[in-house]
Structure 1
């Protein structure tokens, strides 16, 4: 595998779940070892409570503040903070204020979930059943609602 340089602002953009993310290192470039993306997390926004069956998910908050709930515990993260969620742990997050985070998923194949949702033209707000089916193909399970 060659070295990878991802210039600031580069990478494919995706807006599944109302969050803008830009793929910095796609899983295909790492032979599935990991994927990295940058995610904009508006205040009040975040995904439903979910579980990655096989993946570690690592967030590094770049700016703003993010409220994480992982395994029933709440964590308030700000710039420079890292939140690591191991496989099998129910988790979600929400912007406490507009925030940006870098996210790494390892192994990385489940990162293609966002593209699959977009390609299917599915909106979680109106067709969560379809999103759940797509998530199952990527070893992701939804287990509860987003934070309020």
Structure 2
């Protein structure tokens, strides 16, 4: 990964720098996830910069990993287990493993940080990035996303028709 210090000792955290615009970019049909630091570098969590344009997103889904969002800019409503949370810059929201969630972007884009306590979220989006060509509409990617979700223990609600 970019920024890893040469000569690092195995099993020890190292100083890692990913400047603005750097990191491993993983593209999904409804967002771009840039890996800014992974659990091997941080000692236990993955950090993503997430850019989400306004438009269709995946239906409510539940993941076996938790995630915390910190909004950098834009506004979004996140539905978690039937409760709507309106988020703007500086807001945080923690979603526990197994909670059904989705979001709606209210501004042209939303940029947020996503922090996940394991590498499972990153592994999921690595698979999505490899299987779904960039620019594929969410509805057209439903089949591939469903297969990937099942492999990673993600449950997805009904796709809109």
Q: TM-score, normalised on structure 1? A: 0.84
Q: Does 1:100 align with 2:111?
A: yes
* Structure 2 residue runs without a partner (length 5+): 1-11
Greater Rg by CA:
2
Equivalent residues in 2 for 1:11-50, closer than 5 Å: 11-30=23-42, 33-50=44-61
Deviation at residue 67 of structure 1 after TM alignment = 0.7
Bigger mean CA offset, 43-52 vs 79-88: 43-52
1:139 is aligned to 153
Deviation at residue 8 of structure 1 after TM alignment = 2.0
Deviation at residue 26 of structure 1 after TM alignment = 2.7
Bigger mean CA offset, 109-118 vs 73-82: 109-118
Which structure is higher in RCO with an 8 Å CA cutoff and minimum separation 6? Answer: 1
Q: Does 1:63 align with 2:73?
A: yes
Aligned residues: 144
Contact 2:132 2:144 in 1 (8 A): no
Say if 1:121 and 1:47 are closer, same or farther in 2 by CA, change over 3 A. closer
Q: Does 1:80 align with 2:90?
A: yes
- Structure 1 SS opposite 2:62: strand
CA–CA distance in 2 between the matches of 1:144 and 1:61? Answer: 27
- Structure 2 SS opposite 1:24: strand
